[in-house]
Structure 1
Amino acid sequence: MERRFPDIDDRIEPPHKIAALAELLQEEGVAASRLLEGSGIEPEQLYAPATRVAPRQLLTVYENALRLSHDPGVAIKAGKRIRITHFGMYGYALLSSPTPRDAIDFAIKYRALAATLLGLRFEETERDAFWEFSDVLSLGARSELFRFVLEFQLGTQLSVHGDIFGRPVTPTEVRVTYAAPRHAPAYQDLLGCPVRFGQDHNQLRFSHDLLEQQLAFANPATAAVVRQTCDQMLTELKAASGMAGKVFNMLMVQPGRFPDIETVARQLHMTSRTLRRKLQAQDTSYQAILNNVRKQLAMDYLRKTRMSTEDIAASLGFSDAPNFRQAFKKWTGTTPSDFRASSR
């Protein structure tokens, strides 16, 4: 199964990929300021905890690296410098996954938290297993920029696999759709396996035996707790990005007077069918966004005001207080009164 990710202009990713490139180019004598030209990112922001970058900014930096670096293997090398801890809670959830298949399922379901630039799916056969990467941003499957993005991803995948298993993991083969570049001979040294160019798909392939091996830091209890946090992060990300973010913001400014999807679609100058399709591409829906808005407002009212449960229910468009209490418990696992008491 392949999932999409937030809009190309949403600033959601820490700049660790750019920092890895900047360090490598600095070793070549290229200043970070040159690498960052046109991206809207300043060198001092690369290591600031609050910095977030958008996919479009990342692509601008990649284009600069293509032009500035004299090392044709720079993308793979930079990708191999990315560690699983760079991905925060998403990374810790992968690291603590009980089994390889659990880690794979999580990686795909929550991949928006990693903000990759490629489509991603996983398949297994009796003999092997493979990740497949696709050009969902229409960069041009045979363009230099797509090649750079894929090389970076291949390096990152190998590094992350090594972190999860607690040892280096060697693929059996890499397949790519583009023709062999000038630095093709370096691929096998950098990736540790044969590489086939001009194929039908972009794949990183492993022995099927890898799926039966134990993970170095498997911890089901930790994984369950961390995944709850990732659930909340994913919900917040969907609410803040792309078309879902626009709908969320429109509903937040009209508490108690929530428009229906047809009204929202008209305000966004599209049909409700188009809006539904765009929201579905972000793995969400109008009703899910409305529920999240109501949840956020309800928690704010309970924390910050003395409004009664009945008044909160009415302000959020519920027909009565019991319906509101039932919905709130479904959203949060607790009752409004217990939530208010714990927030004091």
Structure 2
Amino acid sequence: MTAHILAQLMDSSVLDAAAVARFRALLQREGRDLPTMVRQGEQTPLSWFGEVFDDLDADQAATMGYAAGEQARLTSFTPLSLPLVSAANIHEALRLLAFLPLIANVLTARFIDREDDVAIVLTASSGDPILDRFPVFYCAAALMRLLRLLASEPLDLVIHIAWPQPAGFDQHPECQAGRLRFDAPLHHIVVPRSTLLADCRFADPIAYQTELTTLQDRMVTLGATHDITERVRHLVDTQHSLIAIDDAARQLHMTVSTLKRRLSEANTSFRALRESVLKDRAMLLLTGTSLSLESIASALGYSDLANFSHAFKRWTGTAPGAFRKGLTAASVRCESSGMD
């Protein structure tokens, strides 16, 4: 995450004095000056939280991340701040999530269209399942806060977290209102299409487009490893059939061997990326739409339901029909519990 976020966190009530002192000692040990890091837009390693809080558990990481996100400001995300403020509508503001790696290189976002809404899938990749809680919960809280600051009307969006509900969240207003939910198949934000068109208060189209170009250039400078994985994911996401690696390589203007090598350098493969994208899309189509299983199989590029069912069961251990029924039953239980 950016040094700006760490500086803001250390200056807030989220951390106690002892934790702030440990962060200052860590910065001194590393020979780093936080104000300089903020000015230069540097990122701070998420692993520092593991050092400062050596007994950090999942609930604590989630609670700390969410509390920090609730204090986010429009100026908290140095490279994204100006385009965020300049966005004409919520769709343009959310489009900036594609540039999350510029402020938190352990978090990425992908957009998946559904019948009545758009689902934005969040993926954390720090390699530590406990530390992953911080950026995901920070993003959830910061989005709720910042979009409300920007929007000219009340917003209708729901954030789904794949992990269980942390201790103490049952009394949180967002949870009680149903805008923050847990035990989802994957982390995702559901935004109705009508909400995407909601106007923002400070629209400046020229500034937005100028900054968008700058952000795109900065993403390229992150390096070919990040760029190629995201390009492959996007390519798979936009196909109406199951794209093969030779077709992908041709559309990416490289040889198959070059594509394989660059993905290997990113510690992944074409098949792994393709299946990851298809799995996410399948779960979200089963979760948030009334499409038949046959229609979902076709939308994902499978020639028939049997092939899709076989693949989905291999990914999740559950047949797609049973997966959908399980989610429906869980939703009914949650609604009944909320009415009690």
Structure 1 residue 76, shift from structure 2 partner = 0.9
Q: Deviations over 1:87-106 (max 9, x none)?
A: 23422123223333333334
Q: Which residue of 2 aligns with 1:286?
A: none
Q: Is 1:161 matched with 2:147?
A: yes
Which of 121, 141, 149 is residue 135 of structure 2 equivalent to? 149
Task: Give the aligned residue type for 1:208.
Answer: R
Give 1:154 shift. 0.8
The secondary structure found in structure 1 opposite 2:18 is coil
Distance 1:223 1:176, change over 3 A: closer
CA distance 1:89–1:31, shift in 2 (3 Å): closer
Q: Which runs of 5+ in 2 are unaligned?
A: 229-256, 269-340
Tell whether the 8 Å contact from 1:24 to 1:74 is kept in structure 2 after alignment: no
Q: Which residue of 1 aligns with 2:262?
A: 276
Moved over 6 A (4+): 68-72, 241-244, 279-282
- Aligned CA distance change for structure 1 residues 23 and 129 (closer, same or farther; 3 Å): same
Deviations along 1:5-56, one digit per CA (max 9) or x if unpaired, are xxxxxxxx631221233233576333423145657656851565136234xx
Residue of structure 2 equivalent to 1:230: 215
The DSSP-based 3-state class of the residue aligned with 1:86 is coil
Which residue of 1 is the match for residue 121 of structure 2?
A: 132
In structure 2, distance between residues paired with 1:278 and 1:36: 38
Q: Distance in 2 between matches of 1:205 and 1:190?
A: 15
Counterparts in 2 of 1:186 and 1:34: CA distance versus 1, 3 Å: farther
The equivalent of 2:17 in structure 1 is 29
Aligned counterparts of 1:72 and 1:106: Cα–Cα separation in 2: 23
Which residue of 2 is the match for residue 185 of structure 1? 170
Residues 25, 31 of structure 1: 8 Å contact kept: no
| 1:75-224 equivalences in 2 (<5 Å) | 75-108=65-98, 110-140=99-129, 144-165=130-151, 169=155, 171=157, 173-189=158-174, 193-224=178-209
Q: CA deviation at 1:216?
A: 1.4
Assess if the C-alpha contact under 8 Å between 2:159 and 2:180 holds in 1: yes
Q: Which digits, 9 at most, give the CA deviation of each residue in 1:128-162, with x for residues without a partner?
A: 4332222334433xxx3333332112112223323
TM-score of the pair, normalised by structure 1: 0.55
**2-structure distance, mates of 1:281, 1:15:** 27
**Counterparts of 1:192 and 1:21 in 2: how far apart (Å)?**
26
Distance in 2, matches of 1:115 and 1:230, equals: 14
Larger Rg, first or second structure (1 or 2): 1
Partner of 1:73: helix, strand, or coil? helix
Among 34, 37, 42, which residue is 1:45 paired with? 34
Please say if residues 162 and 185 of structure 2, whose CA atoms lie closer than 8 Å, have aligned partners that are also in contact. yes
CA contact (8 A) 1:123 1:129 kept: yes
Distance in 2 (alpha carbons) for counterparts of 1:164 and 1:99: 9
Q: Deviations over 1:162-190 (max 9, x none)?
A: 3432577463x332222232223144457
Q: Distance in 1 between matches of 2:80 and 2:20?
A: 28
Name the structure 2 match of 1:58.
Answer: 46
Tell me the SS of whatever aligns to 2:128: coil
After superposition, the Cα gap between the structure-2 partners of 1:278 and 1:127, relative to the gap in structure 1 and judged at 3 Å, is same
Give the counterpart letter for 2:6 in structure 1.
I
- Does the residue aligned with 2:184 lie in a helix, a strand or coil? coil
**Helix, strand or coil for the counterpart of 2:68?**
helix
Relative distance call for 1:158 and 1:67 in structure 2 (3 A) is farther
Offset of residue 279 of structure 1:
7.2
Taking only the aligned residue pairs, the percentage that are identical comes to: 16
